[in-house]
Amino acid sequence: MAVEQTLSIIKPDAVAKNVIGDIYSRFEKAGLRIIAAKMKHLSRAEAEGFYAVHRERPFFGDLVSFMISGPVIIQVLEGEDAVAKHRQIMGATDPKKAEAGTIRADFAESIDENAVHGSDSLENAAIEMAYFFAATEIAPRTR
């Protein structure tokens, strides 16, 4: 397994629930290291740009409104097999289908407000990391 980096977002619903520390603890217990982090209240343009691949989907407008409804915490996670490991800890997109003990099963209310985002491939991880962080803001162990 290779050491990878992936982009993670704690969405406005989870920030409002005051579970940032619990979620960070799950990353660390899984062997994922937080190598960049920031709290940000996204602008509409930033949220639309981030989710541009979903622009034609029926839920796009609601998704953007939700993502700008409050601050988010954005981080880069590093570790063995980080992209897949992070997706596993997050659980399925729909919290009703998420495995017990995952972040979405424990904290998300619905498929629309589902607590966390995680890159779904190594290729997208690189694009998403660059969307939110300058190279100088990321402090990898592997540097």
Q: CB 54 → ligand UDP: shortest distance, Å?
A: 6
Task: Give the residue with the Cβ less far from ligand UDP, 112 or 137.
Answer: 112
In 10 A of CB 26, how many CB atoms?
A: 19
Residue 103's SS3 state is helix
Rounded distance between C-alpha atoms, residue 6 and residue 26, angstroms: 15
Is 44 annotated as a binding-site member? no
> Can you say whether the dihedral through the CA atoms of 15, 61, 103, 7 is positive or negative?
negative
Is 18 annotated as a binding-site member? no
Task: Give the residue with the Cβ less far from ligand UDP, 36 or 67.
Answer: 67
Identify the active-site residue in 41, 54, 86, 117: 117
Residue 33's SS3 state is strand
Is 11 annotated as a binding-site member? yes
Chain position whose Cβ is nearest to ligand UDP: 93
Asked if residue 12 lies in contact with residue 69, where contact means CB atoms within 8 angstroms, the answer is yes
Q: Amino acid letter at 65? A: S
Asked if residue 95 lies in contact with residue 111, where contact means CB atoms within 8 angstroms, the answer is yes
Binding site for ligand UDP (CB under 6 A): 54, 59, 63, 93, 111-112, 114, 117, 120
Is 38 annotated as a binding-site member? no
Rounded distance between C-alpha atoms, residue 137 and residue 140, angstroms: 10
Task: Give the residue with the Cβ less far from ligand UDP, 41 or 54.
Answer: 54
Task: Give the residue with the Cβ less far from ligand UDP, 20 or 124.
Answer: 124
Q: Note if 117 is an active site residue.
A: yes
Residue positions annotated with a catalytic role: 117
Binding-site residue set: 11, 59, 87, 93, 104, 114
